[in-house]
């Protein structure tokens, strides 16, 4: 065969790049359920699953299930293991950028949380309800809660709230709030006793009569001066020419009893709240008592958030029932 022999026409194969059949991240982001998208976005923004769960008012296990569902749907890992909290993977960064880009295009409603107002007697807020309210906020970071401290009958009359917890004389809830309320319910009966820190008073030297108080410093919360049921204690304080400290802060008064060898009038449950304190029941022959009452604003009593707050207060007192007995 001659090398110059003409050959037939040859077809040249055209090179084709492989097609990526996976949809773009923008399309994939637009198809994600809004609830899952929000769970991912908040987790990425907070950098902590626990904080994201609080922000979304979810249990952490529920949030992790939602994120696992999203990863299964997208068939990729959105987070990478790290010692410094939550770190987005390369795919997670892609998804986050697309969700941010789509944020203005999506019509995601912003759910406004209702404002719930809780008014509480200052001593009850500090000693009994404070810890459970903190736990509530740890579980639900999106709550809108206005906590008002009541330190006098005047503040009780002036306050406007959804739930009110106050102290009154031992036989009636009056005077109560000035606005329309539901039927008041009694939460507890409190006995009040002079208290002293154990470390400043040995058993043999603890005072057991009013005459023994001459060598002790007395501390009084100013609010208690207006309480008729505390007349025996108030008369003792008023008769003092020296060795008396008057305070407008309940917390500071309590701290002085703990740390300054002072004797102060405190609720009988205080030795359970702080085991470093002990009551002195022998000093007064007359009992000094007050009752804790709760009522709900008649206009907002049916709201779910208000009802949950009422249940929290009631459950707290039920759990501490032994504090108020005996």
Query: Where is the domain boundary, 68, 102, 136?
Result: 102
The CA-based angle 67-69-72, given to 5 degrees, is 110
> Is 148 a residue whose pLDDT tops 50?
yes
| Domain annotation covers residue 16 | no
- The helix, strand and coil proportions of the chain, stated in percent and rounded to the nearest 5, come to 45, 20, 35
- Provide the CATH number for the domain around residue 49: 1.10.10.10
pLDDT of residue 17: 40
Same domain as 252, residue 123:
no
Mean pLDDT of the chain: 86
Verify that 185 and 119 share a domain, yes or no: yes
pLDDT at 273 over 90: yes
> Looking at the predicted structure, is the pLDDT value of residue 185 above 60?
yes
Rounded Cα distance, 91 and 99, in Å: 12
Please tell me the least confidently modeled range out of 98-112, 174-188, 275-289: 98-112
The boundaries of the domain holding residue 54 are 25-102
What's the total number of domains in the chain? 3
**36 pLDDT higher than 80:** yes
Q: Could you say which of 102, 128, 154 is where a domain stops?
A: 102
The domain boundary, picked from 102, 123, 153, lies at 102
The answer on 183 and 67 residing in a single domain is no
Which segments of 52-184 are extended strands (E)? Answer: 79-80, 87-88, 115-121, 144-150, 163-168
296 and 159 housed in the same domain: yes
Q: Answer yes or no: do 40 and 86 share one domain.
A: yes
Are 294 and 284 part of one and the same domain? no
Per-residue pLDDT tens over the stretch 73-99? 988 998 887 767 778 888 888 888 888
Q: Is residue 159 part of a domain?
A: yes
Q: Is the pLDDT of residue 22 over 60?
A: no
pLDDT of residue 6: 47
Residue 86 lies in a domain: yes
User: Do 297 and 276 fall within a single domain?
Assistant: no
- Flag whether pLDDT at 316 surpasses 90: yes
Do 277 and 246 belong together in one domain?
Answer: yes
Supply the pTM of this predicted model.
Answer: 0.69
pLDDT digits (tens, 9 = 90+) for 208-261: 888 888 889 999 999 999 899 999 999 999 999 999 999 999 999 999 999 988
């Amino acid at each position: 065969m001659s090398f110059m022999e003409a050959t037939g026409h040859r077809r040249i194969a055209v090179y084709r790049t492989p097609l990526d059949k996976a949809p773009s991240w923008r399309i994939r982001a637009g198809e994600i359920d809004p609830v899952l998208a929000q769970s991912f976005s908040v987790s990425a923004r907070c950098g902590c699953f626990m904080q994201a769960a609080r922000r979304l008012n979810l249990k952490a296990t529920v949030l992790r299930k939602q994120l696992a569902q999203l990863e299964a749907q997208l068939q990729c890992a959105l987070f990478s293991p790290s010692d410094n909290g939550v770190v987005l993977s390369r795919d997670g960064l892609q998804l986050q950028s697309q969700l941010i880009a789509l944020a203005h295009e999506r019509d995601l409603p912003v759910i406004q949380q209702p404002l719930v107002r809780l008014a509480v007697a200052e001593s009850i807020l500090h000693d009994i309800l404070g810890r459970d309210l903190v736990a509530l906020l740890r579980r639900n970071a999106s709550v809108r809660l206005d906590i008002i401290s009541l330190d006098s009958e005047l503040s009780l009359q002036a306050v406007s709230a959804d739930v009110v917890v106050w102290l009154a004389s031992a036989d009636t809830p009056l005077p109560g709030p000035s606005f329309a309320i539901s039927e008041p319910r009694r939460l507890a009966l409190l006995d009040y006793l002079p208290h002293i820190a154990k470390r400043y008073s040995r058993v043999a030297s603890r005072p057991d009569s009013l005459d023994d108080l001459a060598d002790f410093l007395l501390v009084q919360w100013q609010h208690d001066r207006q309480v008729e049921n505390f007349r025996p204690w108030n008369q003792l304080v008023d008769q003092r020419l020296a060795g008396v400290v008057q305070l407008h802060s309940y917390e500071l008064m309590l701290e002085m009893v703990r740390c300054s060898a002072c004797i102060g009038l405190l609720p009988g449950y205080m030795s359970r709240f702080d085991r470093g304190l002990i009551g002195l029941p022998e000093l007064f022959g007359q009992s000094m008592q007050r009752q804790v009452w709760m009522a709900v604003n008649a206009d907002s009593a049916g709201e779910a958030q208000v009802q949950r707050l009422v249940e929290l207060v009631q459950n707290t007192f039920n759990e501490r029932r032994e504090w108020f007995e005996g």
